[in-house]
Amino acid sequence: MQFVYPNTLKSEEYKLVQGTLIIDSGENPTDIEILLSRSIPGEGVVDKFTTTANEKGNFQFQEIPFANNSIYTLVVMYKGLIHTKILDLSKEIQVETTLRIPQTSSDDSILNIPLISILILGNNESKTELKFLEIIKIKNDSSYTYIPGLKPMERMRFSLPKGYQNLNVDSSLIDAQVIKVDSGFALDAYVHPGEHDIMYGYILNYKNQTMNIKKNFWYNTEKIRILAPENLLINLNATISTTEKAEIGQKIYQVFTLENFNKASSLELNIDKLPTPSIYENIENKLNQIQFQYVPISVLIVLMFFIILMSYIRKKLMDPK
C-alpha cells in the first residue's frame, strides 16, 4: 500500500478498511489501483491512500486515520470510467465493503425519470422576463452503466422552451459535459446504476401578459411538479393529479402535480397575468441597453435632458400634492 499526502489529525483513532472489487464482465482485477480519499467539507481532499487488488479482487487499507468531520470515498478508474463509493467509517474499527464495476450499455431505455420539478422563480417587474429552475431526478434502474453514443442524438437530451437565455447546468454525474442541441441541450456523461440529479436554470422573455411553453420528454417520466407564484394563472394541457400551496422563502407558490408521461410525449404550459413594466421602466430598460461609449456627445446631451425630464414628471405624478 502506498500512502500519499499524509495529514496529521488531533484524534489518534485509526481504521482498517477491507474490501472486494467485483468486475461484472468477469475480467481479472489483479493490480487494479484503488484510491481511498478523505475530504473535509469546505476544504476538499486532505488525504489520499492507494492500494491494488489481488487476483480475487481483495484489497486492504491499514491504519486509516478517522475524523468525524471527514468524508471517505473509494475511487476506481476502469476503462476510462470512474467508479466511486462513499464509506461510513464511524461504526466499526474494521470496515468491510464491496465495490462493483458494472458492464456498460448504450441503450437509453434503461434510463427513466422519477421526478421533474419546475420552479418558476417569478420575475423582475421592471423587465418582461421569467426565471426558471428545473431539477430532474434521473434513474438508471438496471445493473449496467449507461454510456452515451458518439452522435449528439445518442446522448442524454433535455428539452428547453424556444427563446431560452442564460442556460446554466449542474449535475451529480461525473465528468458531465453540456452540449447544445436543437430544442435544448444534451449531456455527454455516463450514468451508473441508481439515482442522479440534474439541475438547470434559464430565462424566458415574454410579451404582453402571457407566455406559452412546450416541454418534450425524451424519457418515461413518472411525476412532474410545477411550482409557480400564486399571482400567476397557470393552464396545462394535461390532467393535474393534485393542486396545493407551499411557502418558499416567505412567498406562496401554487404546486401542480402531474403523472405518467411516456417517452416522446409533451406538455404545454400557458402562464397568464404576467406583470408588465410601466412606460418609465420600459424607457429605463432601453437606456440601460445602450453602449454609451459609442454614442456621439450631442446625442448624449439630448438623452441626459430627457432622463432629467422623465424623472421630474414621474416625481410629480407620484406626489399626492
Q: List the chain pLDDT tens, one digit each, 321 residues.
A: 555 545 444 446 899 999 999 999 999 999 999 999 999 998 999 999 999 999 999 999 999 999 989 999 999 999 999 999 999 999 889 999 999 999 999 999 999 999 999 999 866 665 788 899 999 999 999 999 999 988 767 789 999 998 899 999 999 999 899 998 888 899 999 999 999 999 999 999 888 888 898 999 999 999 999 999 988 889 998 888 888 898 887 889 999 999 999 998 999 999 888 877 644 444 444 445 445 444 455 555 555 555 555 555 555 555 655
Residue 78 is predicted with a pLDDT of 95
Closest CA to 83 of 47, 43, 33, 38: 33
Query: What pLDDT is attached to residue 80?
Result: 92
Please name the fold of domain 108-272: Immunoglobulin-like (2.60.40)
Q: How far apart are CA 303 and CA 284, in angstroms?
A: 11
* pLDDT score recorded for residue 129: 85
User: Residue 66: which of 18, 21, 7 has the closest Cα?
Assistant: 7
pLDDT at residue 139 in the model? 97
The pLDDT, as a whole number, for residue 320 is 56
Output the pLDDT for position 222. Answer: 95
- Residue 50: the pLDDT is 96
Angle at 102 between CA 100 and CA 103, to 5 degrees: 155
First to last CA, the chain: 84
Nearest to 159 by CA among 186, 197, 119: 186
The pLDDT value recorded for residue 297 is 56
Instruction: Give domain 2-101's CATH number out of 3.30.930.10, 3.40.50.970, 2.40.50.140, 2.60.40.10.
Output: 2.60.40.10
What is the model's pLDDT at position 19? 96
Domain ranges of the chain: 2-101, 108-272, 279-318
The pLDDT value given to residue 284: 47
Determine the Cα–Cα distance for residues 3 and 97; give it in Å rounded to an integer: 20
The answer to whether the beta carbons of residues 274 and 233 sit under 8 Å apart is: no
pLDDT confidence of residue 274: 84
Domains 2-101 and 108-272 share a fold: yes
User: Which residues lie below 8 Å from residue 230, measured CB to CB, with a gap of 6+?
Assistant: 245, 252, 253, 254
Per-residue model confidence (pLDDT) at position 100: 96
Q: What's the pTM value of the predicted model, to 2 decimals?
A: 0.76
Residues 183, 192: Cα–Cα separation, whole Å: 26
